[in-house]
Structure 1
Amino acid sequence: MLSNLKIGTNLITQYFDFSEIDVEKMQEATLQTLGMTAGSVIIVFLLGLLLGLLLYETNGKETAGAKALYRIVAIFVNVFRSIPFIILIVLIMPFTKALVGSIIGPIAALPALIISSAPFYGRLVEIGFREIDKGVIEAAEAMGASKWEIIYKVLIPESLPAIVSGLTVTTISLVGYTAMAGVIGAGGLGNLAYLDGFQRNQPSVTLVATAIILIIVFTIQFIGDTAVKRIDKR
């Protein structure tokens, strides 16, 4: 038993040579991944909240303007949340080039990260709004609350647990998207795992990069779950 364990340990140490890991490169790639995730999630939160609110407020309305707006927003959301990310990032390269002046680097990955995630998060926000008890909204309307007062005093506070939970799921998806973006030159842990780990046959680099991504994901999930427990009054 001990001999088998020793053989297995030797095989692992032979396959994974951790001396080939460049610590500075790994730190830089980690910061790039965190930067891409943080930069995009802020804009995704704002756009997703707006999209979810538009979908909620215009759905089922009888006026022509509301119907037209709902169809436009719904088509935008359904189209861009359905396109696979790796295809989307290539598809919008001309737009990215015109917007940031480059198609390579962490900044160049932001447009694709935002466009792919905001519609997804918008749908989650809309679902959160729909789960609110209609009686709460009707009570606010009966007290003379304006539309904007209902939005920021009723809709958002009542659906806050769902909004935070959806943002947690979206942020974790963004971490995965940054890894895919890295494969085509966006930088970050995905880029390091592909170029140094795969192409240069250094599996230890891929292993460590994957472990760091998992740590980031678990941390985001823990923070999100903790926040939801604190704000959920049910």
Structure 2
Amino acid sequence: MAGDGAARRRSPVLRLLRTLWLALLALPVLLLVAILLYAFVPVPSTMMLGRWLTLQPVERQWVPLTDISPNLIRAVIAAEDQRYCSHRGVDWVELNAVMEDEDGPSRGASTLTMQTAKNVFLWPGRSYVRKALEIPLAMAIDFAWGKPRVVEVYLNVAEWGEGVFGAEAAAQRHFGKPAAKLTPAEAARLAGALPNPLLRDPAKPSRALLSASARVQRRVGQLGPLGDCAVPA
């Protein structure tokens, strides 16, 4: 009888452990399904989901890449990942340099693809764990989605202000126009604001943002055809 009682007491613990184990086994399958599904449907970011769950407002209107100005596509590539068109999701040259640096993952090396993986599947913040998860996810979405789709998702989930997500909402909020009509200067301001979108206002640019946007415009000029892999024909 005592043995039966001990077995009953252990049973909930065993069920919990079994459930956790099955969840761990199911996670890669769920990620694969999400990656395949997100190749075709509008994609939320984890930041957007967090705001919805806490009943905070979200401004976002999903638009296809053809409804986003090529000026913004090139500006974001120039600002965030100048070798975007030549790598397969991970810039191993930059990543190796960062891993050898004493600052580790606290600086650089995040490609547009890795940032997209983080925004859609992971959490904000800097850590070796998140960086390690970004790498296989970035390689997977680069393979499954292709360059134009990765940029399309990135530009629809990037944050450009408190609760403002995506290029269309950002263009409407900051410039009163659709994302398709952004000028090179406006696109450079939006791209220059990305490192700190809550403090940098593209509509009322600070001296630092004006300097950053000028730097973006110079880089766009230097990209040439290397910035065109995600621009719709």
More helix by share: 1
Query: So what's the TM-score if we normalise by structure 2?
Result: 0.26
Query: So what's the TM-score if we normalise by structure 1?
Result: 0.26
